[in-house]
Amino acid sequence: MDFAPSGDARPRPARTVDGGWFPARATSGDIAVLELGPDGPPAEARPAALFAGDGAHPAEVSVYGHPRPGLGDGVWVEVTATGRGGPNPAWRQLDGRVHGVAIQRGFSGAGVWDRGLGGVIGLVVAAYGSSVERVAWMFPLAAMAREWTPLAALLTPGEPEAPELTARQCAELARLIAAIPRFGTLGGRQDLVSLLRPEIGSAVAERPESHAHLYHVVRTSSDYKGGLDELIGAVRTLVGDSRAVRSIAAELRRFAEEGRG
């Protein structure tokens, strides 16, 4: 094994632990649980927090892989983890962006990093062979723990509740969304609300003024687990993965870090 992103790419020996080899099946790839030799990992490497990853609500995640040609040294890809899908009922679908590199050969087995939770929620297992439909799938760690049961004890119990946003933070997110031209119209905002789950959409107080309306959209979404990630996913669905959308997602991550700090 190597830990190239740590700056120390020296290969390190590892072995499969007893009972840690699960051969491939018709609807799933193989799984190997490895144990490092006496050298251990580089000093800069740290174990990641592990989460179940089998939730149903959209989550913004990152994956690091080594596609070839030209990108064999590694590249980050940002995708959205959505619901279950694929040939294995335990798999969870990963929807790619319009721009940038797609998950492809060279990402198999990569950890799926949930940016909101700050930990790994699964491993990439397959990608759809198309340059247009950027779809891939991951194997959630909860499903993997049913195969290799010692993993269950390593998973962080439950998902931490998102910190409650302040009125100022809700207003700032609303301002960023309102700056996108599509949401300056009532019809555009109604399209946005229609993409949220019914219990959120039905609770949003509609307002003729865009900022006031979007403030209620943000405030209401924040009252539901995963609601803000769902809101950002809806914005992205309507206007694409623009710089403005990435700025909104980055601001939400900053607010979450402030709340947990």
208-228 residue pLDDT tens? 899 999 999 999 998 887 788
In the prediction, which pLDDT does 209 show? 93
Span 12-21, average pLDDT: 91
Task: Give the C-alpha separation, 195 to 66, whole Å.
Answer: 34
Task: Give the C-alpha separation, 172 to 178, whole Å.
Answer: 10
Q: What is the mean pLDDT of the chain?
A: 86
In the prediction, which pLDDT does 158 show? 62
pTM score of the predicted model? 0.62
Higher pLDDT, 241 or 164: 241
pLDDT band at 229 (very low <50, low <70, confident <90, very high): confident
Contact 160, 117 (CB under 8 A): yes
In the prediction, which pLDDT does 60 show? 86
At residue 157, does pLDDT exceed 80? no
In the prediction, which pLDDT does 152 show? 92
Higher pLDDT, 65 or 30: 65
Nearest to 160 by CA among 202, 201, 116: 116
Which residues have C-beta within 8 Å of that of residue 93, sequence separation ≥ 6? 81, 82, 83, 84, 85, 86, 135, 136, 137
In the prediction, which pLDDT does 16 show? 93
In the prediction, which pLDDT does 176 show? 95
Q: Is 66 exposed, middle or buried (0-12, 13-18, 19+ CB in 10 A)?
A: middle
At residue 161, does pLDDT exceed 70? no
At residue 169, does pLDDT exceed 70? yes
φ and ψ at 101, to 5 degrees? -80, 140
Contact 115, 62 (CB under 8 A): yes
At residue 160, does pLDDT exceed 60? no
In the prediction, which pLDDT does 17 show? 92
